[in-house]
Structure formats: C-alpha cells, structure tokens
Amino acid sequence: MTIVTCAPNHPQGRVYKGYRNRIYQREAKDGINVVRVWTFVTANEGFFKRTLNYISYMCSAVVLSLFLPKADVVFSTSPQFFNGLAGYFVGKMRKIPWVLEIRDLWPESIVAVGAIKSQAVIKTLEWIEQFAYRNAALIVPVTDSFKTYMIGKGIEANKITVVKNGVDLAQYCPVEGAPVLAEELGLTGKFVVSYFGTHGMAHHLETILKAARQLSRFPNIVFLMVGDGAERQVLVQMRDAMGLKNVMMLDQQPKSRMPEFWALSNISLVLLKRSDLFKTVIPSKIFESLAMTKPIVLGVEGESADLLQTAQAGICIEPENVDQLVACVLELSRDTERCQRLGRNGRKFVMEHFDRIVLARKLASEVEMVHRRSAFETAEMSIPAQ
C-alpha cells in the first residue's frame, strides 16, 4: 500500500517539526509506504486559500502517481472534493478503478456555513460533485444520510457502501483521573465541561461562551476548550470581552497527551450550527467521547442524535440553544451516578458497533471487491470473440 499525502500542517498552516514542504519525500510508517508531495500550505481559514491548498495537492498527487508502481485500485478521500478528484485522474491515467470516500458533502458544507454565496460558483461545484459521483467505481460515504442524499441525486444505490467513522479502542481507553494535569490547569475538584476539536465556522462555539456566562455563578463548573481553527481568535476575544473566568481555552495539544485531558473531563460537548445539512453528519469526536466513557451533550440533530439516543450515552439539545445547554450541564453536574452510567453505556456501544479495526476490515473487503470486479471485466474484454 502507498499513501500519497502532504506535509502535516493542519490546522494552523505551519509544517510540523521534522517535515518540510518539498516536491517529494518518502517515509515508512507501520509498514506503509508514505509519499508526501508539495502543496500550497495555508491555515484552515478562508475559502479561496483553502481551495488553492486542495487544488495544489490534487495536481501534485496526480503528477507524482505517474512515477509510482501501478496499483490495483486508487482510493481517494474527500473532506473537500478536489482532494477526491485526484483519484479520478490517477484512475484514468493508470487504468485502474477509483474508489471515492465522502467525509463531507461538497459544496453543501461550505454553503451551509456561508463561506460562498455566488450562485455561479455553487453551480460549478455542484457539477463537479455530480461528475465525481458518476465516475467513481464505488462511493463510500461515512453516514447513512449521505447515501440517501446521493441516491436523491440519481446515483445508483448499488455503487454506494456506507462505512462509518469509528474509534481506535486501544488508543481511546478510559483513564482514571489526571491529578497532575488538573493541578497544573487549576481544575482540581472542578466539574469540567470539555470541547475538544476544531473551532470552525460550522460549530457555533459562541453557544458555549453564552452558556458559561449564565453558569458563572457556579464556581465548581468550568468549560475547557482545546483546539484550533478559523474562529478560535474571535472566540478568545469574545471570551475576554465577556470577562469569563470559567472558560479555559488551550491551543491544539499533542495527540499523545489527549488521554489526560479526557481523564479530567466530566462531560463532552459536540456542537454544530443549526442547519438541515448537519442533520446528515456524525462528528467523529462523538466516537472518541463515547470510547472515553464521557457522557455527551449533543447540539446536533438528525443521524447523530439518533445514534446518541440509541447508545443511551448522553443528552440531545437543539443546536445553538444556550438555555438547554445550561440546563443539561447543571443537571449532569448534580448527578454523578447518571454521568457514570451514560459513560459506561457509551463505551459499550462503540465496542459493539464502532471498533475501527472492524470497520477497516469492512472497507478493505469492499475495495478488494472493486479490484476483483475490475479484473474480471478486463479479462472478459480480452477474450476473443468466437
């Protein structure tokens, strides 16, 4: 297996220590051949610059593929469809089937957060979206709602297979307390309400700040926000302007240290803007929260809410509803036994349904089927007519 990617730089647009943004660099990780290509590096903010980043990756990856050994299948993932389209060009040039994973619906996602408003641009992006769906040998969306959406766009159901996100249960394993970190942050004895992840336009994290203002009279409750993103500086300024002493905002942390942060957390927040589009998504942090036995307060409607209710591992609120968030935090802060029960339910649920190893095997099986079908069709074409 060969993975073609870029130098790690997300979300701040700064290449990580130990890497350089070169035209070509190679390394081996866990037995996998990793090839890194040059891209236009930029922070995770601004539609135009981010699009240049994605297009530069697409071009670099396509050109480099000409110099790599021929593969049986090309698999591309699409947090933004220019990334995914690299697979189309590689597949055509190397005459191999293309599998497209869809992690976000584009251009719907950027329209939903108001990043683009030009109807001409939107129509162009919608045409590219349809082009990708029609030309992939197999489409792998990460939610059932995405599949329903694609079928509604005229895509045949038999070329769509849902493989949802999951969690590495070995890495995300419950940890009993983090007294050193709690003391370091001044959180010893506090009820910690955590938000870990991207601080972006889609998340409407001002809801947290408004809830914190209402809860400022409860000194035992503290909000902990860890991560980075396009809206982080705006949120920091908003917190300071509101004079919130019960909101701690930390930069993105090394992955190796995150178990400590989960350990000192009492509940986890998963929030998105109010939008019909977001009823189709399942934020991946849900699975991490469940695996770490942390009850979730979920401000997302649709498929995510259905999943959490099935798991019996948290409380669902309306997106952007400050009063409901306040009420849930207060309720859970006063009921330790319920928090623990919801947390246990969550861990059990992901162990049964969202083990990443099991899901990876399912995906590998689907990709192998695409290869076998392609090989059979090629063999049939090569048989001379009698």
pLDDT tens digits along 124-147: 888 999 999 999 999 999 999 999
According to the model, what pLDDT value does residue 382 have? 60
385 pLDDT more than 80:
no
12 and 94 housed in the same domain: yes
Verify that 312 and 290 share a domain, yes or no.
yes
Asked if residue 294 and residue 199 are part of one domain, the reply reads yes
pLDDT at 347: 97
Instruction: Give the CATH number of the domain where residue 238 resides.
Output: 3.40.50.2000
Q: Does residue 305 register a pLDDT over 70?
A: yes
Does 201 map to a domain?
A: yes
Cβ contact 304:139 at 8 Å: no
**Residue 383, pLDDT score:** 64
pLDDT band at 87 (very low <50, low <70, confident <90, very high): very high
Is the domain of 15 the same as that of 121?
A: yes
pLDDT surpassing 70 at residue 386: no
- If asked whether residues 224 and 286 sit together in one domain, one would say yes
Q: What pTM, to 2 d.p., does this model score?
A: 0.89
Asked if residue 378 and residue 335 are part of one domain, the reply reads no
Q: Judge if 189 and 295 occupy the same domain.
A: yes
Same domain, 248 and 340: yes
Mean pLDDT of 23-46: 89
Our count of domains for the chain comes to 2
**Are residue 208 and residue 137 in the same domain, yes or no?**
no
Does the pLDDT value for residue 46 go beyond 80? no
Q: Are residues 84 and 151 in the same domain?
A: yes
Give yes or no: residues 53 and 186 share one domain. Answer: no
SS in 3 state form for the chain?
A: CEEEEECCCCCCCCCCCCCCCCCEEEEEECCEEEEEECCCCCCCCCHHHHHHHHHHHHHHHHHHHCCCCCCCCEEEEECCHHHHHHHHHHHHHHCCCEEEEECCCCCHHHHHCCCCCCHHHHHHHHHHHHHHHHHCCEEEECCHHHHHHHHHCCCCHHHECCCCCCECCCCCCCCCCCHHHHHHHCCCCCEEEEEECCCCCCCCCHHHHHHHHHCCCCCCEEEEEECCCCCHHHHHHHHHHHCCCCEEEECCCCHHHHHHHHHHCCEEEEECCCCCHHHHCCCCHHHHHHHCCCCEEEECCCHHHHHHHHHCCEEECCCCCHHHHHHHHHHHHCCHHHHHHHHHHHHHHHHHHCEHHHHHHHHHHHHHHHHHHHHHHHHHHHCCCC
Q: How confident is the model at residue 114 (pLDDT cuts 50, 70, 90)?
A: confident
Q: Is residue 203 very low, low, confident or very high in pLDDT (cuts 50, 70, 90)?
A: very high
Both 306 and 216 in one domain: the answer is: yes
Q: Are 128 and 137 in contact (CB under 8 A)?
A: no
62 assigned to some structural domain: yes
Which domain covers residue 43, as residue numbers? Answer: 2-166+358-382
